[in-house]
Structure 1
């Protein structure tokens, strides 16, 4: 455990028996993060030029990003302290706003870049939302302290977000947030009303049910659902006192948290899935928002358990550099976690996790005794067909897995063009493993091989769902120069019981003799670490903290462990278990069945001892050691069915 570059109070294991963290720890962490970042402010305080490689938007935009995102943290801290200005920090941000908006777009050392269209100087639009929200929260101490001409300049700069084209996703909530602030300080008009109406209208079209919004058109579901699509409009409704909007959006947040609260490990980690994971404990923003607005299914002590668990998880695991700056990565620096838009200031969207400081010190979230996290309870299997997710938790180790049968990063109008994004295309994700990089063998993947090239899984079509299983299909896609085979299809089903995952795949239209590959969990190991192969061709990878296992039950011919030398976010080197088989002659398709496991339990039993399989055509019966049995039938129609097996 690395030593933190700033002090925190001693653990309080009476009030917080699980994490030791109290509100005082959150305040100290906020102060430490702010002081570390502000060391890199320009002389006029308008930009915060944090060290690191620039994003594709350039150094000037990155400096604005560093300013805006830490300003949001300063705002949460100040409101939580009832306006008490810690160390004059708000004066520094107020001075920075006045200086940055003096001559926007000018090439001097302090002027902010102007807000442009997405794809053409668009990144400042993202940062305008943090500036506007920070000003809205701290208006008595920042906005009202600005001279009238500085207020006018700030308004004009912010209105650039209302007059330019956002990206076709959560970006439409940035103009909404800007407009909400302008309305709040008496500068609203028809332009701000249109921005709010437009954002809320698009939000309705993106709502898919069970508390999940797609991030724009299509089926992109990830952490943006919590830290953007719920956060911005619902926080706007709360600050505006808009009871009608709260009544419409609040129940969705409550429903979302019923499932999302399961996606935090007992060790505090959020699920490692989707883009922008370098925002880390921002994953808790929706949890805090539920408590703030009263739309949460969680008890106050469970709310703080999730929030503090996530914050402590990253502080304890090296997310900060030696001088206290959040690094570009997951624990320490990790390039594969990042996107092209990631710059040195990007990690400070983690500030959203500090939204909890808007809750007053006497709020039950801060005063109640900490309770166990939902993932620390009984084993759970929760299907979320709206997003195409199957959540699997095991109470003995507190580990969480997310099986993906419906979320992908493609717009409806975009072609399927490999390579697939590892953060979306895999069959499963967890709180203790990360996907391998696009340069290495993919983990948790199913692929056919043509002309020596393996297929990608891009657009995922949900097929069917049950209480503890989900199924989907995809058309195998090949890189440029590879085969074009739109008539081919792979259907996939995951069923979970305890720590076990029954994985069934059916090939449709794939020529006989085609090679097919299926991989399991990537486990971070030391280079040269052996993979144990048990009887029946089980591959076992013991990474110390987790053990990954994969066993071919039907259709698979060989099993091996493949090196992933670029590692994962959990270690610089990893192994991936892989099964290989051959497609059969039956024109109705070939079934392939595997049993997988990822567990933190010590010395887990071999999978060969836990299941038997019988296959009849396109029907497979899997019987588990404890007597449970299921029948998976792919033969009835295009959607599989799952029933309990008889004695």
Structure 2
């Protein structure tokens, strides 16, 4: 197999020069779309779900992040006049009488998000923008931001950091501030803390990139804000103690985050807001700000993520970021996404706010974990086995703990969260059918019309640390059919609706390298009349949805009845190039006892095919069941024994 892990690594100065040029191209690209005053940057494309006024505010605030990083990292040196342009936009946007005024936080919730970017950069660039504003513009800015103080309508998730940042800045310039808000918001942040360095984005099992680009990033920046210690003290907290705990948590998170970067720089394609693209680099720069992680390695991870998108023509010839992943692909976005939304990717260039003399730019480059060898790790909080293979540079996650819901929920599966597998080389199917009837990386019951069940609300089994060179995870789902309510706004979660129980499905994954041995057993649902369970006519196990250049295979390993095996080709169902092929095995009728398949994902082998049906050149695992245990013999002869529930 051709390795993608042997990549040349740039020195710190080379990386900084390249990232600087990339950032400047992004900032130049948006200039033609600024309003006459500069307060609104309204980019081309269909308006977002919140309207054109919010789109224009997003375009300003999110590119202001990048402009601020450039100013801070160059100690105010400003050959292209960034400070002057954004200061003029600030003056107009905060003027309630100006025809290009901004939507205010009390008028629309999205303005609360953008207010945090304004406050963060006004603090970071204080000598070059804030201190040079006229007193009346300063007063208007304080008045604009102050509407967040005491606001009870903040979601119980990463949004709490938007208010912490805004009120910290307000207090530093003599504006209003609420200690009660800070007590509430810091306590919420602590509630989101999970083992192993992880954060859940709220009370649900919501594990995604927000853990890094929001819940780790803001604490690392907040502790450096003017007056943060006084804000913490007013909330009955000690900043030094809190920040030390946050740094320790971040250091542990970075171990997993580094393991989740593919050798080609591709981030894990999982979770909502993926159109922020290289914002996935933000937690590595947060590590640089916080002084945790190995500087040369975290710089390499962050730079390689940005380069991944640059190598896929992001931005396009016009210099603009679009709603999409590599190229434009509107279905990747949520309802709240507008044409300015992708510029939260600016967070992935945060390292430019650090001077060229910082150790993150002077340290020698270090390889990523996948460059050095195969990786197998357990991320206990999200219930993931992380398996990366050096030969092809792909990172795979087998998921038994994340669904963006709470245990016992009976909503539909979100393809972004509830699939059994995600990787840096594949995307879950995201077309309309994928939301209604899961296929890829799923274990489902089918009714007579072929409609598939959902697993959201499942119970996670024991998360087992790697046993030798393999890992074992499991979950049990009360599988249910869902007729979704189409009126519910899409924020990335599974869709609620009318739910009908179908059966209880226990799934065990034994993971090693490019293979997962997946064992499945179906029993009667916990809460359903027998008559309701008769709707299930078949069991289907789906593999990876793979595009060109990838091999995705499902191989039956165990079962009294041979399944029907096939594959489904989907066009334009993911943001990645080319048609997508998903292999599957279907058992009809629903079998008693355990069945098992081997599920494989790799880049197309260079050697001629030979062993696995349909995938020559790949030896397959073997499986034996004895007395409640599954004994797996891997293609290279290694053995793993897993205890079954």
Q: Per the shorter chain, which TM-score range? A: 0.7 to 0.9
Q: Deviation digits for residues 451-507 of structure 1, max 9, x if unmatched?
A: 422102222321112222221222212122999554832122222222211111221
Q: How do residues 619-638 of structure 1 correspond to structure 2 at under 5 angstroms?
A: 619-634=629-644
Moved more, 572-581 or 512-521: 512-521
- For 2:446, what is the secondary structure of its paired residue? strand
- For 2:247, what is the secondary structure of its paired residue? helix
Which of 346, 368, 372 is residue 373 of structure 1 equivalent to? 368
Matched, 1:333 2:328: yes
Distance 1:318 1:281 in 2: 13
Which of 251, 254, 266 is residue 254 of structure 1 equivalent to? 251
Residue equivalent to 2:624? 614
Q: Deviation digits for residues 137-170 of structure 1, max 9, x if unmatched?
A: 0111111111112111111111222343112211
Q: Deviation digits for residues 365-421 of structure 1, max 9, x if unmatched?
A: 212332211121221111112121111111122110111111112257x95233x22
Distance 2:332 2:458 in 1: 22
Normalising by the residue count of structure 2, what TM-score does the alignment of the two structures yield?
0.87
Distance 2:61 2:319 in 1: 18
Q: Is the 8 A contact 1:101 1:150 kept in 2?
A: yes
- For 1:480, what is the secondary structure of its paired residue? strand
Distance 1:200 1:54 in 2: 34
Moved more, 372-381 or 427-436: 372-381
Distance 1:178 1:50, change over 3 A: same
Moved more, 269-278 or 616-625: 616-625
Distance 1:569 1:21 in 2: 31
Q: How do residues 332-411 of structure 1 correspond to structure 2 at under 5 angstroms?
A: 332-410=327-405
Distance 1:237 1:548 in 2: 46
Q: How far has the Cα of 1:207 moved from its partner?
A: 1.0
Distance 1:323 1:632, change over 3 A: same
Residue equivalent to 1:184? 172
Matched, 1:284 2:281: yes
Distance 2:247 2:629 in 1: 43
Which of 565, 571, 574 is residue 577 of structure 2 equivalent to? 571
Which of 487, 507, 511 is residue 496 of structure 1 equivalent to? 511
Distance 1:602 1:438 in 2: 32
- For 2:395, what is the secondary structure of its paired residue? strand
Q: Is the 8 A contact 2:480 2:503 kept in 1?
A: no
- For 1:567, what is the secondary structure of its paired residue? coil
- For 1:306, what is the secondary structure of its paired residue? helix
Moved more, 314-323 or 35-44: 314-323
Distance 2:280 2:336 in 1: 19
- For 2:552, what is the secondary structure of its paired residue? strand
Which of 37, 45, 48 is residue 44 of structure 1 equivalent to? 37
Residue equivalent to 2:233? none
Which of 282, 292, 315 is residue 295 of structure 1 equivalent to? 292
- For 1:280, what is the secondary structure of its paired residue? helix
- For 1:610, what is the secondary structure of its paired residue? coil
Q: How far has the Cα of 1:88 moved from its partner?
A: 0.7
Distance 1:472 1:86 in 2: 57
Q: Is the 8 A contact 1:440 1:565 kept in 2?
A: no
- For 1:409, what is the secondary structure of its paired residue? coil
Distance 1:381 1:506 in 2: 26
Which of 463, 472, 486 is residue 461 of structure 2 equivalent to? 463
Matched, 1:321 2:316: yes
Residue equivalent to 2:489? none
Distance 2:508 2:409 in 1: 25
Matched, 1:153 2:157: no
Distance 1:14 1:491, change over 3 A: closer
- For 2:70, what is the secondary structure of its paired residue? helix
Distance 1:356 1:39 in 2: 26
Distance 2:358 2:13 in 1: 18
Q: Is the 8 A contact 2:483 2:499 kept in 1?
A: no
Residue equivalent to 1:69? 62
Q: Is the 8 A contact 1:383 1:469 kept in 2?
A: no
Aligned residues: 588
Distance 1:215 1:101 in 2: 31
Q: How far has the Cα of 1:363 moved from its partner?
A: 2.0
Distance 1:552 1:21, change over 3 A: farther
Distance 1:415 1:550, change over 3 A: closer
Distance 1:37 1:584 in 2: 56
Distance 1:15 1:440, change over 3 A: closer
Distance 1:553 1:379 in 2: 25
Q: Is the 8 A contact 2:207 2:402 kept in 1?
A: yes
- For 1:210, what is the secondary structure of its paired residue? helix
Q: Is the 8 A contact 1:208 1:387 kept in 2?
A: no
Distance 1:197 1:284 in 2: 30
Residue equivalent to 2:411? 417
Distance 1:15 1:210 in 2: 29
Normalising by the residue count of structure 1, what TM-score does the alignment of the two structures yield?
0.86
Matched, 1:115 2:105: yes
Q: How do residues 524-563 of structure 1 correspond to structure 2 at under 5 angstroms?
A: 524=547, 543-544=548-549, 546-555=550-559, 556-563=562-569
Q: How far has the Cα of 1:20 moved from its partner?
A: 10
Residue equivalent to 1:531? none
Q: How far has the Cα of 1:45 moved from its partner?
A: 0.7
- For 1:229, what is the secondary structure of its paired residue? coil
Matched, 1:126 2:113: yes
Distance 1:188 1:579 in 2: 61
Residue equivalent to 1:448? 445
Distance 1:338 1:522 in 2: 19
Relative contact order higher in (CA < 8 Å, ≥ 6 apart):
2
Matched, 1:476 2:479: yes
- For 2:583, what is the secondary structure of its paired residue? strand
Q: How far has the Cα of 1:100 moved from its partner?
A: 0.6
- For 1:305, what is the secondary structure of its paired residue? helix
Q: Deviation digits for residues 306-362 of structure 1, max 9, x if unmatched?
A: 111111110110221321010110001112211111100000000001111122202
Q: How do residues 226-237 of structure 1 correspond to structure 2 at under 5 angstroms?
A: 226-237=212-223
Q: Is the 8 A contact 1:440 1:564 kept in 2?
A: no
- For 2:516, what is the secondary structure of its paired residue? strand
Residue equivalent to 1:171? 159
Which of 187, 203, 210 is residue 224 of structure 1 equivalent to? 210
Q: Which consecutive residues of structure 2, in runs of 5 or more, have no partner in the other structure?
A: 1-6, 230-238, 485-496, 526-532, 614-618
